[in-house]
Amino acid sequence: MIKLLVYIAIALTVVLLFQLMRIYQLSSEIKGKNIGMANEKDNRSQGRASLIFVLGFFIFLIWLIVRFKDDMLPVAASDVGKTSDNLFMFNWVIIFIVFFITTFMLFFFAYKYAKTAKNPTAYFYPHNDKLELIWTVVPSIALAVIVIYGLSLWGKMTEKASDNALNIQLYAKQFDFTVRYSGADNKLGVTNYKMIDDATNPLGMDSTDKSGWDDVVVHGELHMPVGREINIQCNARDVMHGMYFPHFREQINCVPGMSTYMHFVPTITTDSMRTIMHDTAYDYILVCNRVCGSGHYNMFLKVVVDTKAQFEKWLATKTPQFDAINKRSHGGAVTMK
């Protein structure tokens, strides 16, 4: 009821203001004033108002940046994340310099060049080769620097991972992630979608491939050792998903029918990040950032960055997906656990 009364009050206030403006217009017309035509006094007041507005806007924008800077993403927790943040800030510096200069000039000119009796007509200045050369060459150079900087980061993210990298598979389907670790041989076994069985073989692992016998399948969380390169193979069962690690500044599309890859080195453990954030319950997270269906909002995975010893201890508690002891007599196959 109270909300309804508030809405009614707002509506009546708007109507009142409109009627007051109408009364002012009619009274001015009776006095012989043409309020539809701006005079010199109006031009000067509008120019001053433009200048006051843009200065107030800049002050408010700077306050917003300072006020909410701590609500942005926390410190980058990977090697490529630091480079990504540097590139991000480099772009923002260029954008803000251009934004402040051009926006100030836009409103300042409304003040400086307001129409007066002495200057009733604006100066017509249609062409200047030097100016056109400057505002073509300078932005081109700036864009070239940004592109080259970005390509160097993209190359670092997409180049082949080192041989020492820990190989992990992230398998996405509506609406969850499944993790597969490569085991002691650090090789992921072959998979085939025709072999998928949600009860026993959710990833469609081929039991005739020996490199997959020690692979470990985990649901609910992803563990990674700090300081070691992680090479992630991304696959999807049904529709396109987005593998996005906001804390590690990594993202790649996960496409059905093909494998995509990302790699990075975690640099801050979960315990250390909790200390940095002053939050004992703080966790890294993996989210799907492609709208993949009605349950997209619920598609995320807890990520834990351990020390090397913690990670090895945790992984040792997990049982391989295949039981390598119960081999069949033909084809070297193994039975499912």
pLDDT at 45: 85
Specify the pLDDT at position 325. Answer: 33
Query: Residue 54: what pLDDT?
Result: 94
Same domain, 97 and 214: no
Is residue 332 domain-shared with residue 220, that is, in the same domain?
Answer: yes
Query: Of 119, 140, 158, which marks where a domain is finished?
Result: 158
Last residue of a domain, one of 158, 181, 199: 158
- Mean pLDDT over 277-304 rounds to 93
Same domain, residue pair 176 and 310: yes
Per-residue pLDDT tens digits for 103-128 = 999 999 888 887 776 777 777 888 88
Q: Which of 28-37, 113-122, 146-155, 303-312 has the highest mean pLDDT?
A: 303-312
Which residue is it, tokens 């012989």?
A: 32
**What's the mean pLDDT when you consider all of the chain?**
86
pLDDT at 157: 82
Lowest mean pLDDT among 47-61, 125-139, 167-181: 125-139
Domains contained in the chain, number: 3
Residues 21 and 66 in one domain: no
Whole-prediction pTM value?
0.74
Q: Which residues contact 285 (CB under 8 A, 6 or more apart)?
A: 245, 246, 247, 300, 301, 302, 303
* 217 and 258 both lie in a single domain: yes
Residue 181 has pLDDT above 90, yes or no: yes
Q: Which domain holds residue 135?
A: 38-158
Judgement on whether residues 185 and 332 belong to the same structural domain of the protein: yes
Same domain for 125 and 49: yes
Question: What number is the average pLDDT over the span 35-40?
Answer: 65
pLDDT > 90? residue 285: yes
Neighbours of 52 (CB within 10 A): 12
Q: What is the mean pLDDT of residues 156-182?
A: 91
Q: Is the peptide bond before 175 cis (omega within 30 degrees of 0)?
A: yes
In this model, does residue 331 exceed pLDDT 50?
Answer: no
Q: Which of 124, 158, 192 is the last residue of a domain?
A: 158
Q: Are 244 and 286 in contact (CB under 8 A)?
A: yes
- In this structure, the answer to whether residues 171 and 305 fall within a common structural domain is yes
Which of 35-39, 227-231, 235-239, 267-271 has the lowest average pLDDT? 35-39
**Can you say how many angstroms the Cα of residue 132 is from the centroid of all Cα atoms in its chain?**
35
CATH, residue 273:
2.60.40.420
- Same domain, yes or no: 67 and 90: yes
Shared domain check, 273 and 210:
yes
pLDDT at residue 209 in the model: 87
- How many C-beta atoms lie closer than 10 Å to residue 81's C-beta? 23
For tokens 């070239």, the residue is 144
121 and 177 within one domain: no
- For residue 36, give both structure tokens: 């539809």
For 205-215, write each residue's pLDDT tens digit: 988 888 888 89
